[in-house]
Amino acid sequence: MSNGHLDAEAPAYHNHDDKTKDDPAIAGHDAANNKPLANQDISDAIFLVVMGVSGTGKSTLGNALSKALHIPFVDGDDLHPQSNVAKMSRCEPLTDADRQPWLETIRKTAPDTIIPQAEMEKTLSENECSTVGQGEDKKLGIIVACSSLKKTYRSVLRGESLSEGEMLKHSGGIRTYFVYMKGSREVLVDRMMKRQGHFMKAAMLDSQLATLESPENEEGVVTVSIGWSTEDQVREVVRALKLEAQ
C-alpha cells in the first residue's frame, strides 16, 4: 500500500478500483462500506494513525480526514501524561519507558471511542421508524495523530503488544492503518521554525529523524508527501484505503 518514492507533485486521480480491490491490507472494505450500520460489527471500524516527525502537519491532515470521513480526530499529544509534556518543554527526549503508557493510552482510545459509537448507532437504528437514511455508508472509527517513529511503537498502536485478554478488551478486531507523512529535512526545518505555541523545538528534529524507522514496507500503510496539498493528501488516503469521503 505504500507509495514508494514521493516527490512534490501530487498523484493524478482517476478510477483506481482495479488497482486496489485485491490489496490484502484493505480487503473487505467495500463490503463494510455498503452495509447499513445496523448490520455492521466493530470489525468494520478503522483506527487511522497519522504519523511522522514533528512539523509534517499531522494535526492538519488528521482534522481534514475527520471532516472528509465524518469520524472523530484526536491529537495524540493531548494524551501525553503531564510528566512527558514537562520533559518535552525542557527539550528532554522521552525514553521508551516514558512512551509506553502513552502509546497504550492511544491504543485504548480506539475501542473506547468506537464501541460507544456502535452502541449509539445501533440504538438509533433500532428506534428509527422512518426508512430515511437506511443503507447509508456510515463509518465507525477514530483518527489519531501520533509520531509513531519506531516499529515497536507502531506494534503497540496495532495492539500487538497486548495479551490475548487485553486484545479482546481493547481491540475487538478494529483494523489499524497508518498514514505516513514523508518529507525532507529542509522543508521540515523551515516549518518548525515558523511554528508557534508548540512544545517541540526545532533542535530536536534531527534526533527524531535519526529515530524514525520508515513504515513503508509494513502492511496497512499509506505514504503521502508533505509537499502535496492537504486536499491531495486526503484524496490519496481515501483512494488507498478505499474509503468514501462524504
- 73, 146 in Cβ contact below 8 A? no
Q: What is the pLDDT of residues 175-220, one digit of tens each?
A: 899 999 999 998 888 887 776 655 556 667 888 899 999 999 999 9
Structural domain contains residue 31: no
Distance CA 123, CA 120 (A): 5
Q: Which residue has the higher pLDDT, 140 or 27?
A: 140
Structural domain contains residue 170: yes
Average pLDDT (161-183) is: 73
Structural domain contains residue 15: no
Indicate whether this model's pTM tops 0.95: no
Mean pLDDT of the chain: 79
Structural domain contains residue 209: yes
Q: What is the pLDDT of residues 34-60, one digit of tens each?
A: 343 334 467 778 999 999 998 899 999
Structural domain contains residue 30: no
Q: What is the CATH number of the domain that holds 181?
A: 3.40.50.300
Count of domains observed in the chain: 1
Q: Which domain holds residue 211?
A: 48-121+138-244
Structural domain contains residue 87: yes
Residue 111 has pLDDT above 80, yes or no: yes
Structural domain contains residue 17: no
- 147, 16 in Cβ contact below 8 A? no
Distance CA 144, CA 65 (A): 10
DSSP 8-state symbol, 224:
E
